[in-house]
Amino acid sequence: MGLKPADIQCQEDLAKLPFTEKTELAQTQREGELIGPNQCASMEDIIRIVGTGGTSGQPMRLAWTQNDVRGYNEMGARALWAMGCRPSDFVVNCFNYSIYAGGVTDHMAFETLGATVLPYGVGNSRRLLDMKADMKVEKALYSTPSYAIRLASVAEEMGINLRDLNVKRFLFR
The alpha carbon of 144 is separated from its chain's Cα centroid by a whole number of angstroms, namely 11
pTM of this structure: 0.81
- pLDDT tens for 130-155 read 887 677 788 999 999 999 999 999 99
- pLDDT tens string 69-111: 999 999 999 999 999 999 999 999 999 888 777 789 999 999 9
Segments making up each domain of the chain, as ranges: 67-172
Q: Mean pLDDT across the chain, nearest whole number?
A: 90
Angstrom distance (rounded) from CA 64 to CA 45:
8
| CATH architecture of structural domain 67-172 | 3-Layer(aba) Sandwich (3.40)
> What is the pairing mode between strands 61-65 and 46-51?
antiparallel
Cβ–Cβ under 8 Å, residues 122 and 90:
no
Question: What are the Cα distances from residue 105, in Å, to 72, 119, 144?
Answer: 8, 11, 16
Sign of the CA dihedral running 160, 163, 165, 170:
positive
Residue 152's pLDDT is 95
Give CA–CA dist 21/155, Å, rounded: 44
